[in-house]
Amino acid sequence: MNVSRQPGVPHPRLPLPEGQPDDLVAFQQWLSDAIPMVSALGISEMTRRGDSLTWRLALEPNLNDKGTGFGGALSAQATLQGWCWVTLWLRERGIARDVVVAEASQRFLAPVTDDYRLICSPAELDGPAQLANKLAERGKGRISLTHQLYCGETLCLEASGSYAVLPSR
């Protein structure tokens, strides 16, 4: 796609998958076109299993002055991953809607010293069902998600976010 982005001009939506799971490689390419900074974040792989979305990321493009993971990059990755989780969940159901982050927080537990993985899942087991109900009842809804960043077996970051699905325009 590689469309030049302009402030104030929405990026074209990726067509909804036709009754099959999203091609995560194609989704990641669209994401890089839609949000230019994505290609600089070092995402090497996206996988989904059940209600979890996992990214594998390279440390090198996210280094700080100390040679460890830059907190701002890690925070941006967690926020973006939550947005992707909700967007992919909606797409799986044939719904094309705008998603925004409403709240986000993070706790840094240990330095990130090597390539890492970031895992996003609902904060509550029934979170997806609650979101589906709100969308059916009110045409909009929210879901809380959690993120855990592991460098090897070390938990380095815990984050949480609340993501809103906006009503149709």
Residue 132 sits in which domain range? Answer: 36-165
Q: Please report how the helices 24-34 and 71-92 are oriented relative to each other, as an axis angle in degrees rounded to 10.
A: 120
Does 6 map to a domain? Answer: no
User: In sequence order, what are the residues at sequence separation of 6 or more whose Cβ sits closer than 8 angstroms to the Cβ of residue 162?
Assistant: 101, 102, 103, 104, 142, 143, 144, 145
Give residue-wise pLDDT tens across range 89-147. 999 999 999 999 999 999 999 999 999 999 999 999 999 999 999 999 999 999 999 99
Does 18 map to a domain? Answer: no
Does 11 map to a domain? Answer: no
CA distances to 72, 96, 117, 132, 145 from 169, in Å: 32, 11, 36, 18, 25
Say which CATH number the domain at 143 has: 3.10.129.10
Which pLDDT band holds residue 13 (cuts at 50, 70, 90)?
confident
